[in-house]
């Protein structure tokens, strides 16, 4: 029996979760929300996390009806992510480890998402589409590693959506991606955008630049207009959100299907913050059905960054015999999914 407390703070969400042998006991979090048109900066995000984290730990223990003596291990996000917010979680985790005399485990953020998805959905050995504000990867498990089959070669899909939401001044509450999803449902016209799939990899920066010029023609590179060239059509914000979603999600479905064919798999698991987008789930479900496969997806409680996923992944690592020296309890902004030796899986 392993009871673990996990702390996640790699981006604009700070979360604390407690899990005991796969049973969810607590999952609390707070989000740093900035004004429309603005992103979140590392320094201000870390300040928010420092102000919230102690009350979240108390709330989690209260929700779980546990004392610190009931915990077996303290887990924290080691990376990847923004350094200042990551440090908040790491410093608090180290402090709790010393105060409560508990072992410490540093968890890869991406592995946390994958293991949380597998726990909640019951997926056995799926192709994983990991889509968030900082990462876009198609992953399959093999020989004690989560192997990356394809990924973005520039910005992440969530970053593309968030930046476009800022361009058109959508609210960041509850999240830019959610507000794009709702606005896209009202779209009527499809705008043809660049479709950039390179083998198993994808690119989103060119799509973002292209649609930014449509949203704000003043940013368009000056080109001499031909005499017979028609006026550029006018599109609504809803049309642009709809077209952007349809294009980039189609790209993600394509590379996921290719990974399924390569691995002869009939399961797909979507994880990460963008994974709770219902349109992405719909498009992926159609593809899976055509291949006689099955889609596994989770809701915002577990899809969006949370401390519970770190607690669960850390508990699995701890149960398999993993340990961390205190001198190794640092953070790293670059920590790839395939760097982690998966000791807790026997298949």
Q: Tell me whether residue 257 is annotated as binding.
A: no
Q: Tell me whether residue 109 is annotated as binding.
A: yes
Q: Tell me whether residue 293 is annotated as binding.
A: no
DSSP 160-228: HHHHHHHHTT---SS-HHHHHHHHHTT--SPPP----EETTEE--HHHHHHHHHHH-GGGSPP-PPPTT
CB 111 within 8 A of CB 128: no
What phi and psi values does residue 21 have, to the nearest 5 degrees? 50, 50
Query: Quick one: how many helices (H) and strands (E) in the chain?
Result: 10, 12
Q: Tell me whether residue 305 is annotated as binding.
A: yes
Q: Tell me whether residue 131 is annotated as binding.
A: yes
Helix, strand, coil percentages, rounded to 5, for the chain:
45, 20, 35
15 has which bridge partners? 8, 29
Q: Tell me whether residue 210 is annotated as binding.
A: no
Q: Tell me whether residue 272 is annotated as binding.
A: no
74 has which bridge partners? 5, 104
Q: Tell me whether residue 177 is annotated as binding.
A: yes
DSSP 3-state of 266: coil
Distance CA 305, CA 139 (A): 18
Q: Tell me whether residue 130 is annotated as binding.
A: yes
Distance CA 38, CA 286 (A): 35
CB 332 within 8 A of CB 91: no
Instruction: Tell whether omega for the bond before 77 is within 30 degrees of 0, i.e. cis.
Output: no
Angle, helices 205-215/237-263, rounded to nearest 10 degrees? 170
Q: Tell me whether residue 146 is annotated as binding.
A: no
Distance CA 198, CA 301 (A): 33
Q: Tell me whether residue 132 is annotated as binding.
A: yes
Q: Tell me whether residue 262 is annotated as binding.
A: no
Residues tagged in the binding site annotation for substrate: 130-134, 162, 177, 181, 277
Residues tagged in the binding site annotation for a divalent metal cation: 109, 113, 130, 305
Residues tagged in the binding site annotation: 109, 113, 130-134, 162, 177, 181, 277, 305
């Amino acid at each position: 029996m392993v009871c673990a407390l996990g702390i996640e703070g790699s981006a604009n969400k700070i979360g604390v979760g407690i899990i005991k042998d796969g049973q969810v006991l607590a999952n609390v979090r707070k989000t740093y929300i900035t004004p429309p048109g603005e992103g979140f900066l590392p320094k201000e995000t870390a300040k928010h996390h420092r102000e919230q984290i102690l009350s979240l730990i108390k709330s989690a223990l209260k929700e779980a009806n546990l004392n610190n003596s009931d915990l077996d291990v303290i887990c924290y996000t080691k990376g990847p992510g923004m350094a200042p917010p990551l440090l908040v979680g790491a410093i608090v985790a180290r402090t709790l480890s010393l105060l409560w005399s508990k072992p410490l485990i540093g968890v890869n953020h991406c592995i946390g998402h994958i293991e949380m998805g597998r726990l909640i959905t019951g997926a056995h050995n799926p192709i994983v589409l990991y889509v968030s504000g900082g990462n876009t990867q198609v992953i399959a498990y093999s020989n004690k590693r989560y192997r990356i089959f394809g990924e973005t070669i520039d910005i992440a899909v969530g970053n593309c959506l968030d930046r476009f939401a800022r361009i058109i001044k959508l609210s960041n509450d509850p999240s830019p991606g959610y507000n794009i999803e709702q606005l896209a449902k009202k779209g009527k016209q499809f705008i043809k955008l660049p479709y950039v799939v390179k083998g198993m990899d994808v690119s989103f920066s060119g799509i973002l630049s292209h649609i930014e010029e449509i949203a704000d023609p003043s940013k368009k590179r000056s080109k001499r207009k031909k005499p017979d060239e028609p006026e550029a059509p006018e599109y609504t914000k809803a049309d642009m959100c709809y077209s952007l979603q349809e294009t980039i999600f189609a790209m993600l479905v394509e590379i996921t299907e290719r990974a399924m064919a390569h691995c002869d798999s009939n399961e797909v698991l979507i994880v990460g913050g963008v994974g709770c987008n219902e349109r992405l789930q719909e498009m992926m479900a159609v593809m899976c059905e055509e291949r006689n496969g099955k889609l596994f997806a989770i809701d915002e409680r577990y899809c969006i960054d949370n401390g519970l996923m770190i607690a669960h992944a850390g508990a699995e690592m701890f149960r398999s015999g993993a340990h961390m020296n205190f001198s190794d309890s640092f953070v790293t902004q670059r920590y790839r999914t395939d760097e982690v030796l998966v000791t807790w899986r026997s298949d």
